[in-house]
Chains A and B, each alone.
Chain A
Amino acid sequence: MNEPTITHALDRKETTTLNLGPTHPSTHGVFQNVLEMDGERIISGVSTIGYIHRAFEKIAEHRPYYQITPLTDRMNYCSSPINNMGWHMTVEKLLGIQTPKRVDYMRVIVMELARISDHLVCNGILGVDTGAYSGFLYLMEQREHIYEIYEEICGARLTTNIGRIGGFERDFNDIAFAKIKKFIKNYVPVLKEFEVLFTRSRIFMDRTVGVAAVDAQTALDYSWTGPILRACGVDYDVRANEPYSSYEDFDFDVPVGETGDVYDRYMVRNEEMYQSIRIIEQALEKIEKEPKGIFHADVPDIYLPPKEEVYNNMEALIYHFKIVMGEIDSPKTEVYHCVEGGNGELGFYLVNDGGRTPYRLHFRRPSFINYQMYAPMSSGMLLSDAIINLSSLNVIAGELDA
């Protein structure tokens, strides 16, 4: 429906080259698109990535497992706890560690908070890129409260390095629980207010409905996952399809769109935030029923013992030494584990040869895979549409380049 009415005489071949990036304000990171433009219309584009490639996969081959967590922080820095948890669960899958239910629920809370913070940044930025700045700040204030919860749980805000292999480094304290409860109570009205600004705004709908629409088959062909795939009408959500961290215990809906356009992506993300709030509420109820004080699996050879134990107990001292030196017994095998990240299926493919470091570790970064379609789908679009398409894909430069 919302097809641009500008047409240009393409046969005149009077085109110009426009460098969109690497420091363009709307790329929200460092990557470049060299666009061939006919006036306002994009004829073709070439994407350049790798501006902040840090060779995480190679670095990971030289680090013991627990030291790889900080690397995962720096991929999708809008939702680093999901990356951390995904990595912990991958190693737990490799070592065959069963985490207690309470740990699973604590992880679910942290991951859903991270999902909210990821989606709210994306939708807020979509608002900014369409020219309405205020909604972004309404949501950003709430992200601050999420970061305060992170701080209470692990001490860090952006690159959280939250949790340990086998559980958490410490239990959630009462202030953390109070902050989570306060957040889920306060967030819904703010999100509703944000939706009032955008969802039925005539200009916003004109800008987004029908823009960058992708059909389900094309999206699947390009291996899209996450909210943008669900916006195309495919109900694939790792949390529901292959539950991890006890997601099967929770009752939540997987919102799907119809047309896969920018508006549907926006709506899917908004609805997922409501669903995340629902999940957190359920998780808080479930934690109440679990025995108190359990925050890690009972695996002394993998989970770092407390310092008093180390000083007073020989086994603990040995385990401490072995864990810190990365000398843990691990099977020679390969595992793949995936979690539903902010942008889609975040996978960790780990090949282990029994040594102290991974033999090979591959991150399946959803931004990287989702972004492949950007240049092909931009051709024929107006520049303005290409830019809001970019922000609704939520390409995070750190995750794109890894």
Chain B
Amino acid sequence: MELTFVIEKVVLVSVIFLITLGIAAYSTLAERKIAGYIQGRVGPHRAGPFGVFQPLADGGKMFFKEEIIPSQSNPFLFIAAPCLALLTASIGSAVIPWGQDVTIGDRVIQLQVANINVGILYIFGVVSLGVYGIMIAGWSSNNKYSLMGSVRAASQNISYEIAMGLSLIALLMVTQTLSLREIAEQQNGFWQNGWFSWNFFCQPIGFLIFLVCSFAECNRTPFDLPESENELVAGYHTEYSGFKLGAFLFSEYINMFVSSAVMSTLYFGGYNFPFMNDLGLSANIIAVLGVLFLFAKIFFFIFFFMWIRWTVPRFRYDQLMNLGWKVLIPLSIANIVVTGIWITVKDLL
């Protein structure tokens, strides 16, 4: 392995990590601003112009808070849980293709940390690990409300992962690949061979199922049962304070960012944008524009997450399970069947 490759990847990893953290931090501000907008309020506006330093103030506050570890808890696991939550949330973005290759001189730089051919499986693996942070947090706190929250989280995440995976199988049947980069490349432009090239237009139901499941995986309203503040006080992080609490809240926003990025890549063309091949621009400029378009899509989905959160009530535990097992899983299986028939018929014609 040559040194430049290592440097290139280290720089890319650092940049993506910083961007992830930055977006997660500013998602908290965006959430509060959007909540304010929806609720006819102003939102935070004291720290800096329009409250732009609010995330820093919040982070600083979290750092300086007293750290409380309940005497009846399991201290090692109690500390390990938020670290695990933050870790699993952060490594999900490694396989996302951020843009087309950039050519500098004779070097081709891939805007992707790891171009592995099982990108989707990697994301699934990482997302499944995410529940451990919540489980361990709830169990080690030795609090009944925390435990109930973590039990809810575990069953919810496992149930919705199945539906999510099944909805993706239909997509994989169309794309014939597990690599996120190839999936993104297949959706080049906006219009190909007489039909929209983005996967959303051949897998609308699959997308819908995936969207609902990502809400559930991120524990966002209407699936925020693990921390439903009116029933379980604060759910799995009831006993947490200081930056350990901050790590949980932060990981939720990072998860949201990664989910939005995955949704944009899988179903909405990733870094592709309409008329990208007709503008006659150089490849590098299109790559940069593509990155911007990808982020625009991600921001839209993050906004969508927040919009839903401040609009709808939350499910009850059994209704959530009914929706997962009795609606989404049969629907995604039906989607697989329909997709299979469609592919076969299309090949025959």
Which residues of A pack against B, CB within 8 Å?
4-6, 16, 18, 24-26, 40, 127-134, 137-138, 141, 197-198, 201, 203-204, 206-207, 382-385, 387
21 sampled A-B residue pairs with Cβ under 8 A: A5-B322, A6-B318, A18-B144, A24-B233, A25-B229, A131-B221, A132-B311, A132-B314, A133-B35, A133-B310, A134-B38, A134-B39, A134-B311, A138-B40, A198-B313, A201-B313, A203-B319, A206-B319, A382-B318, A383-B148, A387-B231
- For the complex, is B224 an interface residue (Cβ under 8 Å from A)? yes
List the A side residues contacting B321 at CB < 8 Å: 5-6
A16/B144 contact (C-beta < 8 A), A6-B318, A25-B233, A387-B230 known: yes
Q: Once bound together, how far apart are the Cα atoms of A201 and B231, in whole Å?
A: 21
- For the complex, is B61 an interface residue (Cβ under 8 Å from A)? no
Q: Once bound together, how far apart are the Cα atoms of A137 and B144, in whole Å?
A: 31
One of A138, A382, A385 near B39 (C-beta < 8 A): A138
- The number of inter-chain residue pairs (CB within 8 angstroms) is 84
- The answer to whether B40 and A132 have CB atoms under 8 Å apart is no
List the B side residues contacting A24 at CB < 8 Å: 233
Q: Once bound together, how far apart are the Cα atoms of A25 and B238, in whole Å?
A: 12
A206/B311 contact (C-beta < 8 A), A131-B228, A387-B231 known: no
Which among A198, A201, A203, A385 has the greatest number of chain B C-beta atoms within 10 A? Answer: A203
One of A16, A25, A128, A206 near B316 (C-beta < 8 A): A206
Q: Once bound together, how far apart are the Cα atoms of A74 and B40, in whole Å?
A: 30
Q: Once bound together, how far apart are the Cα atoms of A137 and B40, in whole Å?
A: 8
Q: Once bound together, how far apart are the Cα atoms of A18 and B313, in whole Å?
A: 25
Q: Once bound together, how far apart are the Cα atoms of A24 and B311, in whole Å?
A: 24
- The answer to whether A40 and B311 have CB atoms under 8 Å apart is no
List the A side residues contacting B35 at CB < 8 Å: 133-134
- The answer to whether B230 and A132 have CB atoms under 8 Å apart is no
Docked complex: B119-175 residues within 8 A CB-CB of A = 144-145, 148
Chain B nearest CB, measured from A117 CB (Å): 18
- The answer to whether B148 and A203 have CB atoms under 8 Å apart is no
Chain B contributes a number of interface residues (CB within 8 A of A) equal to 28
6 additional A-B residue pairs with CB within 8 Å, beyond A129-B230, A203-B313, A382-B317: A18-B145, A130-B313, A131-B228, A132-B310, A137-B40, A387-B230
- The answer to whether A131 and B314 have CB atoms under 8 Å apart is yes
Chain B residue with the shortest CB-CB distance to A5: B318
List the B side residues contacting A387 at CB < 8 Å: 230-231
List the B side residues contacting A134 at CB < 8 Å: 35, 38-39, 310-311
Which residues of B pack against A, CB within 8 Å?
35, 38-41, 144-145, 148, 221-222, 224, 228-231, 233, 310-319, 321-322
List the B side residues contacting A25 at CB < 8 Å: 229-230, 233
- The answer to whether A206 and B40 have CB atoms under 8 Å apart is no
List the A side residues contacting B322 at CB < 8 Å: 5
Chain B nearest CB, measured from A390 CB (Å): 10
- The answer to whether A207 and B316 have CB atoms under 8 Å apart is yes
Chain A residue with the shortest CB-CB distance to B322: A5
Chain B nearest CB, measured from A389 CB (Å): 12
Q: Once bound together, how far apart are the Cα atoms of A383 and B39, in whole Å?
A: 28
One of A18, A203, A382 near B222 (C-beta < 8 A): A203
A203/B310 contact (C-beta < 8 A), A25-B229, A131-B221, A137-B41 known: no
Q: Once bound together, how far apart are the Cα atoms of A7 and B314, in whole Å?
A: 21
- The answer to whether A131 and B313 have CB atoms under 8 Å apart is yes
List the B side residues contacting A383 at CB < 8 Å: 148, 231
List the A side residues contacting B310 at CB < 8 Å: 132-134
Chain B residue with the shortest CB-CB distance to A4: B318
- The answer to whether B316 and A385 have CB atoms under 8 Å apart is yes
One of B39, B41, B312 near A201 (C-beta < 8 A): B312
List the B side residues contacting A207 at CB < 8 Å: 313-316, 319
List the A side residues contacting B40 at CB < 8 Å: 137-138, 141
Chain A nearest CB, measured from B159 CB (Å): 13
Q: Once bound together, how far apart are the Cα atoms of A133 and B312, in whole Å?
A: 9
One of A26, A131, A204, A206 near B224 (C-beta < 8 A): A131
Q: Once bound together, how far apart are the Cα atoms of A6 and B224, in whole Å?
A: 19
- The answer to whether A131 and B222 have CB atoms under 8 Å apart is yes
- The answer to whether B315 and A203 have CB atoms under 8 Å apart is yes
One of B229, B230, B312 near A203 (C-beta < 8 A): B312
List the B side residues contacting A203 at CB < 8 Å: 222, 312-315, 319
- The answer to whether B39 and A137 have CB atoms under 8 Å apart is yes
Q: Once bound together, how far apart are the Cα atoms of A4 and B321, in whole Å?
A: 11
